[in-house]
Amino acid sequence: MRRIASNADVIGRVARLEQDAKDAAELEELFQADEKASAELAGHLEKIGRELDALEAFGIDIANYLFLPRILAVMVSVMLLSALFAIIVTFSGLIFSTLIFDMGFNAYADIIAKAIEYKDFLILAVKSAALGFFITFIPLYYGSRAGYHLTAVPVSVLRGMVNVFIAIVVIEVLSLVARFL
């Protein structure tokens, strides 16, 4: 009886060793894939650096050629999406007020007209434009200042993200202050 238990124990240990060997092989494959990805990223960083250097060599202003169109596109997109969202929320409020509170269109329109002022539209437009600007400008700024080393990219991404979150909070606070002035 004892010999059967020890044979089962040996078989279990062999199975665990086989599994450990498979895990080690998978881990080695992951490390090799990580090394390949790192080498690929380093190649891309070097290529991007050469492309930016080439643009500068031809006298092309990188900020106007690469950054400004992206910043303007995101600003316009955020403003349009904010306006669309405001319209959708307003109409969904009408639908739910009708269904839940049995409120008519005129009553809902009166409530909305009393609640919204013209400065609210201005605040929405300025806030959306500011968010679009800073959400785009900060990553572009930190990304352009990152070196061509692999360790420079994560550091600049982290700094950029932290500053984007700070900018979002500041813009939100300023828009609330402007709303209640």
Q: Give residue 180's pLDDT.
A: 86
The Cα 105–Cα 31 span in angstroms is 63
The Cα 88–Cα 86 span in angstroms is 5
The Cα 156–Cα 144 span in angstroms is 9
**Which segments of 58-115 does DSSP mark as H helices, in order?**
62, 68-101, 105-115
In the chain, where the domains are located: 1-60, 61-179
| One-letter-per-residue 3-state SS of 99-138 | HHHCCCHHHHHHHHHHHCCHHHHHHHHHHHHHHHHHHHHH
* pLDDT, greater one: 146 or 117: 117
Q: For residue 126, name the pLDDT band (cuts at 50, 70, 90).
A: very high
Burial (Cβ within 10 Å: 0-12, 13-18, ≥19) of residue 148:
middle
Read off the pLDDT of residues 44-102 as tens digits, 9 standing for 90 and up. 555 566 676 777 777 878 778 878 999 999 999 999 999 999 999 999 999 998 898 88
Please check whether residue 122 is in contact with residue 130, taking contact to mean a CB–CB distance below 8 angstroms: no
The mean-pLDDT minimum among 56-60, 149-153, 174-178 falls in 149-153
Q: Give residue 58's pLDDT.
A: 78
